[in-house]
Amino acid sequence: MIPPKPSRGERTVTVLDVGTSKVAALIALIGGGEPRVVGVGQRVCQGVRRGLVADMEKTESAVRAAVDQAERNAGVQAGTVYVNMSAGGLRSEVEAVEIDIGGHKISDADMANLLAAGRARIDPGSRTVLHAQPALYAVDGTFVESPVGFHADRLGMDIHIVTADTPPIRNLDLAVRSAHLGVRTMVASPAASSLAVLAREERELGVALVEIGAGVTNIAVHMMGQLVGVASVAMGAGDITNDIASAFATRRSHAERLKTLYGGAITAQKDNHELVDIPPISDDEAGEIVRVPRAQIVAVVRHRLDLLFGEVAARLPQLGFAGPQARQVVLTGGGAEIKSVADFAQGLLGKNVRIGRPRGLTGLPDAQAGPAFATLAGLALFAAEDLPDLWNAKPVAGAPRPGAKGGGRLQQMVDKLRSSL
Ligand SMILES: Nc1ncnc2c1ncn2[C@@H]1O[C@H](COP(=O)(O)OP(=O)(O)OP(=O)(O)O)[C@@H](O)[C@H]1O
Ligand SMILES: [Mg+2]
């Protein structure tokens, strides 16, 4: 493809999705409306297990190859990258802070003070803050988009903080740096994917995103337009492949094919009559090809999906996804390609379920337009959103005035939902 030239105000960003089955890189121009994709690259990766770097060299070489390909496509060098973190005990919290304004008109300096007071409230302990961003502003208790210019006594802010365990972050950082790339920001995968597949209105009404990857299933709950909780389940579509391989004594590569071609989440009557060839595990033996009814493959898929969605159903209320605002679920990730999985999930979870594909980017190639690329696209959208980061940004100038713990609206709602369980 011929890469488009940056127009005025646009800059190049590189994003990297390090997944259990593949590493994908994308270079985009941001700063002028929708991010414009100028290059993509992808490599199979065997160095990542359940979202965590397990083999440094294999991960590093897959990162390097994927980025090389994207660079060649784009005709530009990748700079520092936005990279995702899919596992590592992701945790999302909302912290509220409030400062005194004394009836004056809120100025940029007040905003800087508020951000500094917010930063002072963050205490990750031994964990690492991935990102800490303003979620909601409140002027004397009333939610406003942008507080500057309002007269007020008190200015409040809810901060959305995502943390992870420190060692997996360091390992991922090392793998990316070993591929001679700087890490600009690490983004929680479910936060990124949410940007790519959820509609703004869904986020306002209440929605849970369930991203089924190869090794990890990530959940992100949104209420009032904000991400209020994330969770990771160490199970994914790769487990279905393993189940098929062991149930029918065949290789994983065959099992992967069988899953894609004949697997499904709902059994059809005709599946009992359709016979599927299962190649033997080794070539040398006089092993015969075994034939099984397609329904048996579907049964293996369903068994794993029962376990997986059972876990999801247990986590959703813990994340505050309960009550009348908890009706919509969006499935994404490569596992969302399993035939009829939305119908299956709808039956099991008792919610409306749709499949989410990445959107909001111009020029995303067809090969990267499926649900397996939600995280990749979301990383580019995260970069384009460019929200202030209270933790990782340089400290705001001026001594912070102490802020009180505020009673943020989002905070109150999440607390209420959780305590009503
Ligand atoms: N058509 C399909 N039918 C069934 N499964 C599919 C299909 N397409 C992709 N998958 C499965 O989706 C999984 C890959 O999904 P994805 O690319 O989202 O994972 P990943 O990002 O590499 O891993 P993770 O996010 O868990 O670290 C694989 O297990 C693959 O078999
Ligand atoms: Mg993934």
Q: How far apart are CA 259 and CA 262, in angstroms?
A: 6
Model confidence at 402: pLDDT above 60: no
Its domain, for residue 124, covers 91-161+391-419
Q: Which atom of ligand 1 is nearest to the CA of 22?
A: 22
Together in a domain, 50 and 35: yes
- Please name every residue paired with 156 in a beta bridge, in sequence order, or none if there are none: 98, 138
Mean pLDDT, rounded, for 34-38: 96
Asked whether residue 192 is assigned to any structural domain, the reply reads no
Ligand 1 pocket, mutate which of 42, 44, 337 (most atoms under 8 A from CB): 337
Same domain, 70 and 207: no
Residues 317 and 270 reside in one and the same domain: yes
C-beta 320 within 6 A of ligand 1: no
- Say if ligand 1 is within 6 A of residue 20 CB: yes
Summarised one tens digit per residue, pLDDT across range 15-28 is 999 999 999 999 99
Q: How far apart are CA 372 and CA 19, in angstroms?
A: 10
Q: Looking at the structure, do residues 176 and 244 belong to the same domain, yes or no? A: no
Ligand 2 centroid to Cα of residue 231, in Å, is 14
Q: Dihedrals φ, ψ of 19, to 5°? A: -110, 175
* pLDDT attached to residue 288: 77
> Is residue 193 in a domain?
no
Nearest one of 62, 342, 332, 334 to 211, comparing CA atoms? 332
**Could you report the per-residue pLDDT of 119-129, keeping only the tens digit for each?**
999 999 999 99
Q: How far is the CA of 291 from the centre of ligand 2 (A)?
A: 33
Tens-place pLDDT, residues 337-347: 999 999 999 99
Q: Which ligand is nearest to the CA of 46?
A: 1
Interhelix angle 294-318/237-247, nearest 10 degrees: 150
In the 8-state DSSP scheme, what is residue 408? Answer: -
pLDDT tier at 395 (50, 70, 90 boundaries)? Answer: very low
Residues in contact with 26: Cβ distance below 8 Å, sequence separation at least 6, in sequence order: 14, 15, 16, 37, 39, 40, 41, 70, 368, 376, 377, 379, 380
User: For position 396, what pLDDT does the model report?
Assistant: 42
Contact 86, 154 (CB under 8 A): no
Query: With 0-12 CB in 10 A as exposed, 13-18 as middle and 19+ as buried, what is 67?
Result: buried
Are 278 and 251 a contacting pair, CB within 8 Å? no
Same domain for 362 and 351: no
Q: What is the mean pLDDT of residues 338-357?
A: 98
Measure the CA–CA gap between 227 and 222, rounded to whole angstroms: 4
Q: What is the mean pLDDT of residues 216-241?
A: 94
Is residue 363 pLDDT above 90, yes or no? yes
pLDDT of residue 401: 46
- Which class for 341: exposed (0-12), middle (13-18), buried (19 or more C-beta within 10 A)? buried
Domain with residue 116: its CATH number is: 3.30.1490.110
Range from 57-66, 228-237, 335-344, 385-394 carrying the lowest mean pLDDT: 385-394
Residues 62 and 73 in one domain: yes
Band (pLDDT 50/70/90 cuts) for residue 414 is low
Residues 229 and 313 sit within 8 Å (Cβ to Cβ): no
The domain that holds 171 is classified in CATH as 3.30.420.40
Lowest-confidence pick of 88-97, 202-211, 340-349: 88-97
Question: Is residue 173 scored above 60 in pLDDT?
Answer: yes
Whether residue 117 is found in the same domain as residue 154: yes
Average pLDDT of the residues of the chain: 91
Q: Where are the alpha helices (DSSP H) in 231-373?
A: 237-247, 252-262, 294-318, 341-349
pLDDT at 193: 98
Number of domains in the chain: 3
In this structure, of 36-40, 94-98, 101-105, 288-292, the range with the lowest mean pLDDT score is: 288-292
342 shares a domain with 260: yes
Instruction: Tell me if 333 CB under 6 Å of ligand 1.
Output: yes
The arithmetic mean of pLDDT across residues 401-418, rounded, is 57
The pLDDT of residue 413: 59
Shared domain check, 98 and 81: no
pLDDT of residue 65: 98
pLDDT class for 6, splitting at 50, 70, 90? confident
Domain boundary among 333, 356, 379: 356
Q: Which two tokens stand for residue 119?
A: 């930063």
pLDDT beyond 70 at 241: yes
Residue 187 inside a domain? The answer is no
DSSP 107: -
pLDDT of residue 411: 57
pLDDT over 70 at 416, yes or no: no
* pLDDT of 399 higher than 70: no
pLDDT at 419: 57
Q: Please tell me the predicted confidence (pLDDT) of residue 347.
A: 97
How far apart, in Å, are the Cα atoms of 361 and each of 57, 251, 368? 32, 37, 11
Question: CA-to-CA distance for 124 and 390, rounded, in angstroms?
Answer: 13
- The verdict on 204 and 338 lying in the same domain is yes
